[in-house]
Amino acid sequence: MTHQKEQQFELALQNLIKDDNIPHETIDVNASLQKQLNATRELIHTQRKSLQKLTNDKAITQDQVIQDRIIQERQRLARELHDSVSQQLFAASMLLSTVNETAVDDLPKHTQNTLLQTEQIVQQAQLEMRALLLHLRPVALKNKSLTQGMEDLLIELQQKVSFKIKYRLEDVHLSKGAEDHLFRIAQETLSNTLRHAKATELELLLVERNKRVIFRVQDNGVGFKTVDEKSGSYGLHNIEERAVEIGGTCKIVSVPSQGTVVEVQIPVDKEISKNDSNSVS
């Protein structure tokens, strides 16, 4: 091999390492070396793709492990808060309620007012705690349908809050991933209502109409001005982002002193949802 050909071959190898695809005809080597060069090029290209896939798979696996640990930690915190702080707040609320109902007339007026205010603060703290537990609890539907999961959630919530909850839930056709997302949206919406709305009534709707799944939560709480930056809370932004991620739309309408409506609409792809439900079963 002449010095010139050695330089050409060396250049070709360098280009292989750098993944530069130079035209084959510019490399003046015999057919055997050209064949080996091409095979080496294909091998390096394949190895690069394999390494990239391994790296991506590893990153996805690590992300999943982190997410699983986060969920486990949230579950642990929810259990501890429920077994300790939540129970203590309930006990304090019951004691204050008993005092205010039985012995309040024998106390000075300012003491009566203080006790009533304290009871209200404790009750508000209970609502905050229930909203926090609702946010921390597991969000996966597991083997339940979206309708079953929401009904169980609302029945449990009804037993813990003082305001009235009305709901209408129908079977809907969504993929498993979209159902999980919408269930999280429901939890986020209910959590926001518990924490901020100060409502006495809440209505929840889940129906399918005209190839669209409609989820709506309406309360008669304090509401807010939609132009107010504070109204665009982290929770509301989460709801909007989750709706977009599953191809839906989110509309939030609120009027001060009248309440808030959160409505999410998701288009239904019958074929995808059918195939998805078959694969799950």
Q: Are residues 95 and 207 in the same domain?
A: no
Alpha-carbon span 166 to 215, nearest angstrom: 14
Q: Are residues 126 and 13 in the same domain?
A: yes
Residue 241 maps to which CATH number?
3.30.565.10
Q: Are residues 241 and 108 in the same domain?
A: no
Among residues 114, 138, 162, the one where a domain terminates is 138
Give the pair of three-digit tokens for residue 105: 């007339």
The continuous run of DSSP H or E covering 261 comes out as strand 259-267
Give percent of the chain with pLDDT exceeding 90. 25
Q: Are residues 119 and 154 in the same domain?
A: no
Strand pairing report for 212-219 and 259-267: antiparallel
Q: Are residues 76 and 161 in the same domain?
A: no
CB 214 within 8 A of CB 261: no
Please give the single-letter amino acid code of residue 1. Answer: M
Calculate mean pLDDT across residues 22-27.
48
* Domain total of the chain: 2
Distances (CA, A) of 89 to 66, 81, 117, 133: 32, 11, 15, 14
Alpha-carbon span 266 to 214, nearest angstrom: 7
CB 215 within 8 A of CB 183: no
Q: Are residues 34 and 54 in the same domain?
A: yes
Q: Are residues 174 and 221 in the same domain?
A: yes
Q: Are residues 186 and 69 in the same domain?
A: no
Q: Are residues 113 and 25 in the same domain?
A: yes
Alpha-carbon span 32 to 39, nearest angstrom: 11
More confident residue, 39 or 211: 211
Question: DSSP class of residue 97?
Answer: H
Whether residue 180 has pLDDT greater than 50: yes
Angle at 159 between CA 156 and CA 162, to 5 degrees: 130
Calculate mean pLDDT across residues 117-133.
79
Place of tokens 């998701």: 266
Alpha-carbon span 240 to 248, nearest angstrom: 9
Among residues 83, 115, 138, the one where a domain terminates is 138
Closest CA to 197 of 220, 176, 226: 220
Give the pair of three-digit tokens for residue 151: 């009904």
> What is the predicted pLDDT for the residue at 131?
67
pLDDT grade, residue 273 (50/70/90)?
A: very low
Q: Return the minimum-mean-pLDDT range out of 28-32, 65-69, 177-181.
A: 28-32
Whether residue 246 has pLDDT greater than 80: yes
Whether residue 22 has pLDDT greater than 50: no
Q: Are residues 149 and 228 in the same domain?
A: yes
Whether residue 278 has pLDDT greater than 50: no
More confident residue, 47 or 256: 256
Among residues 89, 111, 138, the one where a domain terminates is 138
- N- to C-terminal Cα separation, the chain: 66
Q: Are residues 130 and 181 in the same domain?
A: no
By the 10 Å C-beta count (0-12 exposed, 13-18 middle, 19+ buried), 72 is classed as: exposed
Give the pair of three-digit tokens for residue 210: 């005209």
Question: Which residues lie closer than 8 Å to 223 by C-beta, 6 or more apart?
Answer: 197, 254, 255, 256, 257, 258, 259, 260
Place of tokens 């509301």: 236
Q: Are residues 118 and 198 in the same domain?
A: no
Range of the domain at 249: 144-281
Indicate the SS3 state at residue 44.
helix
Alpha-carbon span 154 to 163, nearest angstrom: 12
